[in-house]
Structure formats: structure tokens, C-alpha cells
């Protein structure tokens, strides 16, 4: 909602200025004025996301408003800076070639001893950082061990239940840009490295009606594994990523008629309530980030947790699996085994 409110505030100021001072038009066109002020208001809100403080300044300065005139207020959170996605540590080295950078567990420092560091240039910031951090061995791109060091650090992060690491430049374009995605920060997450993802063969047993661009199609799909001992399909996750428009269309045609069930079968185990239930017809390969305990999904229930199942985090569709029948898909025991073998361990309690 703020994405439309903030530009609207800036446009209101510009239009009001043009209506009361026509001479402004000679120095700045209406179109550029709208764009400049809208960007300034948005930038200011990123620094101080409080309309009660921003609007009075905007009304006071009018078309001369500048986001740089506002400073952060302790206790008022600001939006995070965003990082580019990478597909591995080699991507980081390529992007930061001939540039100083660091790999770290994510942290951001804005204030020290009540001093505002937000507008500090990076060299000044580092003087403060040296006072609160420990020295680390430097890694140089010319050293073949750099990749090994980063990979080791990344693996340690995953084993410590972190999602990954952040790589940040230390010299060029190293400032903090709230709510902006830049190439100065790169994130290496377990989700983005394909060889670390666990591949499952799952069966679509239901779906919801799509919204927005996917209106008229089925999205997301409810995916399930099979428990041969209980002869039942147990839900694992919802999937709405990885599909093409053509695939959506074909699945809308495929899951129709008798393939749409009037009610949930007793051999479907899940706490989900999709709009439609499907008969078990096909198998899809699904790849995800890692496994987690779920209060909704029932896959491997009782094998890891007494009353909860296992779910896949950030699942995405890979391809149809044409050489498997639904009963030949990934089993509940398979998922329990994968959960136990993953490097990023999840806490498993015993409470409901």
C-alpha cells in the first residue's frame, strides 16, 4: 500500500506548487517534478518510516523537499537493504572480482554510542566497526583457497541452522541503501544451490483456485507422499513455483471431470482444505530448500514427531515424472530419512 501512498504524497505537493506558483514550471517540468519528488518522498520514508514525522517536513518544504534532510530516529525500524540472489560462491567471486569484500552472518550496525552511522561513508564506518569486531584472516581472489574458505564458511552457516551467508563489498558502492536491492550485497542461500536441494517425487492431490495473473488456473497445488503401510497419501507441501503458463493450462484441462473428487478421500491425510480434491493420477518431481516440522502437513507423522508431519520449505516444481505410478512416489519413510540426514537441523519438540 505504501508503494502507492508515498508517490501520491509527492505528486500532491508538486501539483499544489504548480497551481500556486506558475513560475516553477519554467525551471522544472511537471513530469520531472512529479518523478523527483516521488523518489525523494520514498527515499525519506526508507530512512524514517513514520508519516507523522515525514508529512510535516514535506508540507513545510513543498517542492524543495529532500529526503536527505531527514535522519533516522532511534527506536523507529527502517526497511532492510536487499541483496542480489546468487547461485553459489563462484558467482560471488565473479561479481566481486578485484574488489574487497567480506562474507558474514548477517548483521547491520546503525548506531554506536548514540552516533548516527547511516549517512557515514564506508571508511568512517569501518573505524567504528573495528572497535566492536575481531580481526579475521583476509582472503584474496588470487589465492586458490578463497573458494574453499567461503564454501567452508557457508557450510558452517548451514550446519548452524542459518539459511546461508551474505557477501558484502567493502569499498565500491558500499553504503547502506534501505529497501533497495543492489549488487553490493550478494546472498548465498541453501535454497539457491541446486545440488543441496532434496528432490522428491510427489503426487498432486488437490489445488486452490488461482488469483491475480493465475486466475482461471489451479495454483497452488497440494502435494503428497505415499505411506504404503497405511495405504494413504500424506500431504507434504503446497507448490506454486516453477510452473509455466502452458503447464497451468494443461493441468486445468487434465484435472477435470472424474479426476475432480466430490469430497476428501479417507486415505488423504492432511489438515489443508483446498478448493478441489484430485484423484491420485500423476507424479511430479519437486525440489525444495530443506525439511521442517509442520502442524498442517502429515507426511511421516509419527516417525519424527508424534503428532506432526514434515514439510518442504520453499518447494518448486521441476518436471513431470512419467515413469512412476502414484503409489511409487516418495514414501513417508523416505522423507523421515531425508529429514534426519539434512545438515540444517530443526528442533523437534513433543508438544502438540
Q: 53 phi and psi, to 5 degrees?
A: -95, -30
Residue 224 CB-density burial (10 A; 0-12 exposed, 13-18 middle, 19+ buried): buried
Residues β-bridged to residue 317: 286
- Round to whole Å and give the CA distance between 188 and 90: 10
- Round to whole Å and give the CA distance between 211 and 77: 32
Please write down the long-range contacts of 290-293, taking CB distance under 8 Å and 24 or more positions apart. 290/190, 290/198, 290/342, 290/344, 290/346, 291/198, 291/335, 291/338, 291/339, 291/342, 291/346, 292/346, 293/346, 293/347, 293/348, 293/349
- Round to whole Å and give the CA distance between 72 and 47: 6
Catalytic one among 3, 31, 106, 159? 106
Contact by Cβ (8 Å): 238, 229: no
Prior bond of 220 cis (ω within 30°): yes
Task: Report the SS3 class of residue 49.
Answer: coil
What's the sign of the alpha-carbon dihedral 37, 38, 40, 44?
positive
Per the listing, cell 537441523 goes with 345
Question: Does 3 qualify as catalytic in the annotation?
Answer: no
Q: Which residues are catalytically annotated?
A: 106
Amino acid at each position: 500500500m505504501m508503494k502507492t501512498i508515498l508517490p501520491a504524497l509527492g505528486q500532491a505537493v508538486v501539483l499544489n506548487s504548480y497551481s500556486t506558483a506558475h513560475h516553477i514550471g519554467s525551471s522544472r517540468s511537471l513530469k520531472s517534478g512529479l518523478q523527483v519528488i516521488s523518489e525523494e518522498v520514498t527515499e525519506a520514508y526508507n530512512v524514517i518510516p513514520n508519516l507523522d514525522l515525514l508529512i510535516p517536513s514535506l508540507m513545510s518544504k513543498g517542492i524543495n523537499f529532500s529526503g536527505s534532510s531527514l535522519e533516522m530516529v532511534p527506536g523507529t525500524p527502517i526497511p532492510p537493504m536487499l541483496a542480489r540472489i546468487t547461485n553459489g560462491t563462484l558467482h560471488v567471486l565473479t561479481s566481486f572480482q578485484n574488489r574487497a569484500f567480506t562474507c558474514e552472518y548477517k548483521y547491520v550496525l546503525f548506531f554506536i554510542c548514540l552516533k548516527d552511522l547511516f549517512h557515514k561513508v564506508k571508511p568512517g564506518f569501518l573505524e567504528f566497526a573495528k572497535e566492536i569486531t575481531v580481526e579475521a584472516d583476509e582472503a584474496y581472489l588470487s589465492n586458490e583457497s578463497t573458494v574453499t574458505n567461503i564454501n567452508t564458511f557457508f557450510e558452517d552457516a548451514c550446519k548452524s541452522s542459518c539459511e546461508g551467508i551474505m557477501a558484502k563489498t567493502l569499498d565500491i558502492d558500499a553504503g547502506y541503501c534501505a529497501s533497495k536491492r543492489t549488487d553490493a550485497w550478494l546472498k548465498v542461500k541453501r535454497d539457491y544451490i541446486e545440488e543441496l536441494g532434496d528432490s522428491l517425487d510427489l503426487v498432486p492431490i488437490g489445488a486452490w483456485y488461482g488469483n491475480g495473473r493465475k486466475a482461471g488456473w489451479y495454483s497452488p497445488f497440494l502435494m503428497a507422499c505415499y505411506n504404503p503401510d497405511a495405504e494413504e497419501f500424506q500431504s507434504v507441501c503446497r507448490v506454486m513455483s516453477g510452473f509455466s503458463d502452458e503447464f497451468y493450462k494443461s493441468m486445468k484441462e487434465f484435472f477435470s471431470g472424474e479426476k475432480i473428487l466430490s469430497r476428501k478421500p479417507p486415505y488423504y491425510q492432511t489438515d489443508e482444505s483446498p478448493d478441489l480434491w484430485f484423484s491420485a493420477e500423476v507424479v511430479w518431481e519437486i525440489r525444495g530448500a530443506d525439511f521442517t516440522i509442520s502442524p498442517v502437513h502429515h507426511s511421516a507423522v509419527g516417525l519424527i514427531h508424534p503428532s506432526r508431519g514434515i514439510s518442504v520449505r520453499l518447494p518448486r516444481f521441476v518436471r513431470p515424472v512419467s515413469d512412476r505410478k502414484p503409489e511409487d512416489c516418495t514414501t513417508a519413510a523416505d522423507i523421515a530419512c531425508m529429514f534426519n540426514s539434512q545438515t540444517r537441523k530443526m528442533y523437534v519438540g513433543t508438544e502438540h
